Chain A
Amino acid sequence: MEINHSDSRQVSFHGEGSKLFGIYIVNLLLMIFTLGLYYPWAKAAVLRYVYQETEFEGSRFAFHGTGKEMFKGFIKAVGIFVVIYAILILAVWSRNNVILSLGMITFYAAILLLIPVAIHGALKYRMSRTSWRGIHFGYRGDLKEFVQEFVIGGLLTIATLGIYSFWFTVKLRKYIFSHLRFGNIEFAYNGDGTEYFKLNVKGYFLSLFTLGVYFFWYVKDLFAFFIDNLEMNQEGNVLKFRSTATAGGYFQLIAGNLLIIIFSLGLAAPWATVRTINFIFSNIIIDGPLDTDSIKQTEMDYSDATGEDISDMMDIGLI
């Protein structure tokens, strides 16, 4: 097999607003008529479409998740929330201050624990359900380790009034990417918490002083900090990710999307989505040698979508 050294690659997106619009309309109607129960199937349709229109080295990605899997997860997730809220409501009903405070503590502790559980589950499910040329992605993180990391980081963040959150974010990214696999390809995230902190402080204050003008440079820097620190490793061959996004590009994207959404009263949201995806992919370049023919299938099947659904309910965006 030849190793392809032609050194820069990109993911490209071929989706069209009109097709996505069609999917959204059908989804919305079915969700209205089923009082929202159609949601998992609606989501599966959108993901399948978006993945199918995403191309790398001449081959399309695929999303294998099904509405049925996500519906099962949805039911489980609803069950979990019902239990957590039941505890809170019973505690409030008891009209006893001790029970009430215990109930509140349990409630917030459960929510805090649920976030990492949801992220972990969602990653496992989403990665296992993503493939390219028949090779599946996978997430090998350990739930216990991840929850521990999350709880410690979360408490430190609270104790430092949020300052630690920057190091925390970077730590989580490192953990997640080091456990991500695409067949036998490994990933790594090399960001540095201190650098991330400086970037945010600078971005925040400059945006403030320039009355928001600097904001576009700020988001560009955040994107670059995410992308530039990513790398892939195929049996010793390192591939680096590189962002080419510019502040001007971000301005065009954000201003354009705002106009599209406002003037269509939200109806044209799918076109805005397509623009966003296009912008993201067209601004990521992957440098380095890659043998696209020798990626081996290594990951296990994983069909439990509970984490994915909890993430949805808690509004945790994935990567």
Chain B
Amino acid sequence: MQSFDILYYDGKTSVSHQASLSLEKDYWLIQYDQEFEKQSVRWEVGQVERDMGFNSLFIFRYGDFPRQTLECKDENLLIELRQLYPDKAFFDKKLNVLLHKNTTVLVGLTLGLIGILLVSYFYILPWFSEKVAEHIPVSTEISLGDTMFENTINHYKKNDSLTARVNDFVKEIDFKTNYPIKVTVVHEDDMNAFALPGGNIIVFDKILGKMKSADELAALLAHEVSHVHYRHSLKNIFRSLSGYLVISLLFNDINGITAILADNSNMLLNLSYSRNLETEADEKAVEILKANGLNLNGLVELFTLLESETNKVATIKLLSTHPLTTERIAFAREVARQQNAPVKKENLEKKWQAIGAERLK
């Protein structure tokens, strides 16, 4: 029987004993000299445990606290152990195999991990951010939207009188939402309108100037309000900022989120909604218009106006943000056709005239 050179610690003092270890069937025998006397220690095999090993030092422990310890550097010990006690789990440490034997496995795992991270970043994270957006309290959303509005509006020249008229117009319609709707008209040579989270809607005066009826304006507003109502803007922002968002949440830094959102307010212009979100907003808009007894032809006119503008001008932002498809126009035509002839709303008509008078100035 082979014996191995080991270092033995008895668990009572720090003395390092040069000892020899011999392996028997049921026990290990450790022998060393102390004060000129031969000492021997018996370890029952069943109670020997090996430390999870990461280097070429093999460490075994035995007994109750404070445990005895032996250290061995001899690789043959492992071979011997494997032969002598094939069923004893001295080798079941997965890490050992991973770390010592298999670089390929490790590289594979690393790539796998990077893959998981990429998938989470590009798919899971955006999805998750949308879910988070759904659960932001309305009051938080409104104050967030107000901050963003303050930042956005600085980039534009506000038209105060038109803004007042359009808001009068808004009051005549029940938009079926709990969000406080506030429209701001700004001077901009672009056919555009967009919704901020929490109820602020910014309309460019050019699109207002091209409209021919109250129903058309009502349709535009109903559509934008629907984006607000379903939190499309918030969800989109969260999606595109999901990376920052998670980091901020990790560090529990709500102020950070607000700051980032404020910095990125103007990106709202460039955000495009997915087709599903547009359809959802169109449907809700139809519902609002119907409930208010408004003529759905307004929606048809609005889409047609936008479509005609596409053909004329190359850079129409509203179209990149609201992908107009023939399907959407067809949808608007269909709902308008089914509608019973709505009665003209006199109050609304008056407000529309007021807007008309104002925009001529």
Chain A residues engaging chain B, CB cutoff 8 angstroms: 1, 14, 19, 22-23, 25-26, 28-29, 32, 45, 48-49, 52-53, 58-60, 62, 132-136, 183, 267, 292-297, 301
Contact = CB atoms under 8 A, between A and B. Distances in A.
Contact of B12 (A22, A62, A297): A297
A29 B109 CA distance: 8
A138 to B, nearest CB: 11
Contacts of A29: 109, 112-113, 116
Given A22-B106, A25-B110, A132-B14, 15 more contacts: A22-B99, A26-B94, A29-B112, A45-B52, A45-B95, A48-B54, A49-B54, A52-B53, A58-B16, A136-B66, A292-B16, A296-B12, A297-B11, A297-B12, A297-B13
Interface string B220-247: 0000000000000000000000000000
Nearest to B64: A301
A48 B113 CA distance: 23
Contacts of B16: 58-59, 133, 292-293
A48 to B, nearest CB: 5
A78 to B, nearest CB: 18
A28 B67 CA distance: 32
* Residue among A134, A297, A301 facing the most chain B CB atoms (10 A cut-off): A134
Nearest to A136: B66
A52 B51 contact: yes
B51 A134 contact: no
Contacts of B9: 133-135
Contact of A48 (B7, B52, B57, B69): B52
Contacts of A58: 16
B13 A294 contact: yes
26 contacts: A1-B15, A14-B55, A19-B54, A22-B106, A25-B109, A26-B95, A29-B116, A32-B116, A48-B52, A52-B51, A52-B59, A58-B16, A59-B7, A60-B57, A62-B51, A133-B16, A134-B14, A134-B66, A134-B67, A135-B11, A136-B65, A267-B110, A293-B13, A293-B15, A294-B14, A296-B12
Contact of A295 (B13, B67, B69): B13
A135 B106 contact: no
A19 B10 CA distance: 30
Nearest to A266: B117
B113 A296 contact: no
* Residue among B10, B11, B94 facing the most chain A CB atoms (10 A cut-off): B11
Interface string B1-44: 00000010111111110000000000000000000000000000
